[in-house]
Structure 1
Amino acid sequence: MALVPYLSESDLAEEDRPLLARPINLFRALANSPDALRTHAEFGEWIRHRCELDPRLRELAILQVGYLTASPYEWSHHIKIGHDFGVSDDDVTALIAATAGREHGFGEVETAVLAAAREITADTRMTDETWAVLLGHLGRARLVDLVIVISFYNAVIRILATLQIDVEPDYERYLEAFPLAEQTPGPETARRRG
């Protein structure tokens, strides 16, 4: 159960009601601080609709953060969102395999994106080797976008965990189809996996 109430539009001032146009539990909890929700939502909109990073790569990076940190909310929501941006069920299965260090079938750029997400999540930075591979594929601007996306979603999973945000029933099916690992790897394990 969440540590703050899930608010509805009727709980908000008239000018803040549009903040809950998408009434997911994360937004309903953040609505306890409307200005914080407004800023969070604006940044999320930039990531989803104006960031020039390939949307499939973006969603793979976000999913890697959610899986590595065993965040049910992030994982389930971004499987659904990932589907909207070209991530297939096979991609989700491959991501799980890649996280475990097994054969996964991704190409060099996807493999490097997942490595970057694991490295930033576990070590707060990307290795020089991963940076060099991604710089060659993405260029400087899109690589900075990738770092911002991974870092933002590392913040989001901390918000979700601290506020104890519940997964909505509509998203539970994604957790059933793609269960999170019982234990997430620690930083040493995450560094070794590529």
Structure 2
Amino acid sequence: MALVPYLSESDLAEDDRSLLARPINLFRALANSPEALRHHSEFGQWIRHGCELDPRLRELAILQVGYVTASPYEWSHHIKIGHDFGVTDEDVTALIAATAGQEHGLGELESAVLAGAREITRDMRMSDETWAFLHERLGKARLVDLVMVISFYNAVVRILGTLQIDVEPDYAGYLEAFPLPDGHRPAQSPR
């Protein structure tokens, strides 16, 4: 159960109601501080619509953060979102295998993106080897975009965990199909 109430549009001032146009639990919790939600959403919109990093690579990086941190909310939401940007169920299975150091079938670029996401998440920095490979393949601007995406979602998983945000029932099936490494099963909440 979340540590703050999940608000609805009717709980907010008229000027803030549009913040819940997508009434997912994370946003409903962050709505307790409308300005925080506003700025969180602005950065999220840049990631989704303004960032020039390939959307499939972006979603793989976000999924890697969710998997490494065993964040049920992030993992389940971005499996669904990832599907909209070209991530397949096979990619998700391959990500799980790559995280375990097993054969996975992803290409060199995808593998390096996942390695970079794991390194930033676990070590707070990307290794020189991963950086050099990604710099060569993505260039400076897209590599900085990738670092920003990975770092932002490392913040998001900490917000989700600290506020104890519940996974909505619509997303629970993704956790069954693709269990997190510790077998964590989140509490479910009504919308």
TM range (shorter): over 0.9
Q: Following the alignment from structure 1 to structure 2, what is the Cα–Cα distance between the partners of residues 65 and 183? A: 16
Alignment-derived partner of residue 91 in structure 1: 91
Query: Deviations along 1:91-119, whole A, 9 cap, x unmatched?
Result: 00000000000000111100000000000
Residues 110-153 of structure 1: per-residue CA shift (max 9 Å, x gap): 00000000000000000000000001110000000000000000
Number of the residue aligned with 1:57: 57
Which residue is equivalent to 2:70?
70
Runs of 4+ in 1 over 4 A off after TM superposition: none
Task: Name the structure 2 match of 1:12.
Answer: 12
Q: Aligned pair count?
A: 184
- Give, in whole Å, the separation in 1 of the partners of 2:183 and 2:82: 23
Aligned-partner residue type, residue 69 of structure 1:
T
Distance 2:106 2:84 in 1: 19
User: Aligned with 2:52: secondary structure?
Assistant: coil
Q: Deviations over 1:38-84 (max 9, x none)?
A: 00000000001110000000000000000000000000000000000
Partner of 2:175: 175
- In structure 1, runs of 5+ residues without a counterpart are 185-194
Could you tell me how far apart the structure 1 residues matched to 2:183 and 2:110 are? Answer: 24
Separation in structure 1 between the aligned mates of residue 109 and residue 76 of structure 2, nearest angstrom: 24
Whole-Å separation in 1 of the counterparts to 2:101 and 2:183: 15
1:98-117 superposed matches below 5 A: 98-117=98-117
Q: Counterpart of 1:24?
A: 24
Amino acid in the other structure paired with 1:124: M
Larger displacement relative to structure 2 (175-184 or 35-44): 175-184
1:166 — aligned with what? 166
Q: CA deviation at 1:87?
A: 0.1
| RMSD across aligned positions (CA) | 0.9
The residue that corresponds to 2:40 in the other structure is: 40
Deviation for aligned residue 1:182: 1.4
- The whole-number CA distance in structure 2 between the counterparts of 1:106 and 1:125 is 23
Match of 2:138 in 1: 138
Letter in 2 for 1:87: V
Q: Which residue in 2 is equivalent to 1:155?
A: 155
**Structure 1: which amino acid aligns with 2:96?**
I
Aligned residues with identical type, % of pairs: 83
In structure 1, the residue corresponding to 2:95 is in which secondary structure?
helix
Letter in 2 for 1:106: L
Post-superposition offset of 1:183: 7.1
Q: Does 1:123 align with 2:116?
A: no
